[in-house]
Amino acid sequence: MKILILGSGGREYSIARAIKNEEASHELFFQPGNGATKELGKNLKISDYNELATFAKVNEIELTIVGPEAPLVDGVVDIFKAEGLTIFGPSKKAAQLEGSKVYMKNFLAKYNIPTASYIESDSIEELYKFTDTLTAPIVVKADGLCGGKGVIIAITHDEAKKAIGEMLSGKSFGDAGKKVIVEEFLDGFELSMFAICDGDDYILLQAAQDHKRLLDGDKGPNTGGMGAYAPTPLVDEKLYKKVRDRIIRPTLDGMKKEGTPFEGVLFIGIMVVNGEPITLEFNVRFGDPECEILMPLMTSSVSDMFHKAATNRLSDINVTFSKQYAVGVVMASENYPYASSTPAEIIVDEVHHKEIANNTHISYAGVSREDDKLYADGGRVLVCVGLGDTIKEARDRAYLRCGQVHFAGKKIRTDIAYQAL
Ligand code: AMP
Ligand code: GLY
């Protein structure tokens, strides 16, 4: 197939890598891609979605896969479908599940899907009043997309009220904070679950855990994610069933009833409280770095899975998973997540040890290429992925691989998958 992938991160690299490893050969295009996706296909520079759809038509692209949320919320799927193109991702309307937390919370409430009790409002008095009914910590969320920064866990009532005021005034997140959610704090452990959906049916991938904080022991500022592993032993069949019956099935049925059937990746952020899965949030795309560890665990064709999902035929296929575990360790640049960093050359040692070479790989994200050299370009630079028959084996291998990657200022967490060990 000729396949176009939208995005430039490690997530998109890992999807491309999985597709390239399939038996069938595929031709890949990236918009815009990164310095390493050039090795897997062709990087484009067509940021206008209408022009991109024309490119896809003229070049007979058979499948487009959308990585990040922004193009989805902007309606890229609607534009491609209007041109008769096959594209995997939700429509602009369905993408509101991520684009507006108010929409998402009201949807969850309407269809009785478990979530933290909340209020949504643009009135400071109403939000303050509800805040006073809660015990601290208190969770304050801006409605719109804030690049993963729109959630404040306030330790005191005063701190919560300050966050509410700053959001409503537009000071902290501009228009994205014009409406605010205040909700109860849930105390439990967090999971990332992913359902590949075709509007009617879905395939649930293995449950993963992300590591959102910058530093070991879940300390420091929030990031996009510093590492992940899957499948997590914290989830048993009973919990999977609860997630299917109480969250995914009613979501797909509800979205159909709303006239916005959900096609694409439903990313469910879950807090498990006393054995019960509660929905923290929906995203309408793969998590990053979760995608980088889930893709290598798939033993059936991922391009076929995305194509079947995009053409409402998921019930026709049998998706299979490896029996191994995957651990991914993010290597970020010096000033992440505060500021950009000066580009630094990346040196990757040759791996002579067969076991490590065969059971590890690198998914590249914030990298550029110049004169055949790779440079760390800031942000999250790459993910070292280790596979193994146990989580410990996968983790040891991932960290051995980390030791063979060098660039100035590189930083990693050293405790990825600690919850499972
Ligand atoms: P969200 O973008 O809604 O997933 O929020 C980002 C992070 O904030 C989540 O991954 C959780 O760690 C935390 N969080 C969000 N909502 C709650 C809540 N109601 N209780 C506890 N933690 C929360
Ligand atoms: N790793 C979490 C996210 O992609 O939102």
Dihedral of alpha carbons 352, 360, 324, 25, sign: negative
d(CA 175, CA 231): 38
Give the distance (Å) from ligand 1 centre to CA of residue 151. Answer: 7
**The domain over range 2-91 is classified in CATH as 3.20.20.120:** no
CB-based contact 170:178 (threshold 8 Å): yes
Ligand 1: residue whose CA is nearest its atom 1: 281
Q: Which fold has domain 325-406?
A: Glycinamide Ribonucleotide Synthetase; Chain A, domain 4 (3.90.600)
* Pocket-testing residue among 280, 282, 288, ligand 2, by greatest number of atoms within 8 A of Cβ: 288
Tens-place pLDDT, residues 58-86? 999 999 999 999 999 999 999 999 999 99
Would you say how long the chain is, in residues? 421
Q: Which two tokens stand for residue 271?
A: 């807090």
Please report the atom of ligand 1 found closest to the CA of residue 210: 10
Per domain, the residue ranges of the chain are 2-91, 123-178, 189-316, 325-406
What dotted CATH number matches 189-316? Answer: 3.30.470.20
CATH architecture of the domain with range 123-178? 2-Layer Sandwich (3.30)
Lay out the sheet containing 344-345: strands in order across: 344-345, 373-376, 367-370
Q: Which residues contact 240 (CB under 8 A, 6 or more apart)?
A: 204, 207
| 333's tokens | 């640049």
pLDDT, residue 71, reads: 97
Give the residue, by CA position, lying nearest to ligand 1 atom 5. 151
Ligand 2 center from residue 30 Cα (angstroms): 21
Residues 5-17 have pLDDT tens digits of: 999 999 999 999 9
- Spatial contact of 378 and 347, defined as CB atoms under 8 Å apart: no
pLDDT in tens, the chain (421 residues): 999 999 999 999 999 999 999 999 999 999 999 999 999 999 999 999 999 999 999 999 999 999 999 999 999 999 999 999 999 999 999 999 999 999 999 999 999 999 999 999 999 999 999 999 999 999 999 999 988 789 999 999 999 999 999 999 999 999 999 999 999 999 999 999 999 999 999 999 999 999 999 999 999 998 999 999 999 999 999 999 999 999 999 999 999 999 999 999 999 999 999 999 999 999 999 999 999 999 999 999 999 999 999 999 999 999 999 999 999 999 999 999 999 889 999 999 999 999 999 999 999 999 999 999 999 998 999 999 999 999 999 999 999 999 999 999 999 999 999 999 9
Cite the beta strand spans of 199-273 per DSSP E. 202-204, 209-210, 213-215, 219-222, 227-230, 263-273
Residue among 153, 184, 270, 274 to mutate when testing ligand 1 (max atoms within 8 A of CB): 153
- Tell me, in angstroms, the distance from the centre of ligand 1 to residue 267's CA: 14
**Angle of CA points 397, 402, 403, to nearest 5°:** 100
Q: Quote the radius of gyration of the chain (alpha carbons, Å).
A: 21
pLDDT of residue 147: 81
Residue with CA closest to ligand 1 atom 7: 151
Distances (CA, A) of 182 to 80, 136, 156, 368, 374: 37, 12, 13, 40, 44
pLDDT for position 148: 78
Q: Pairing relation of β-strands 219-222 and 189-198? A: unpaired
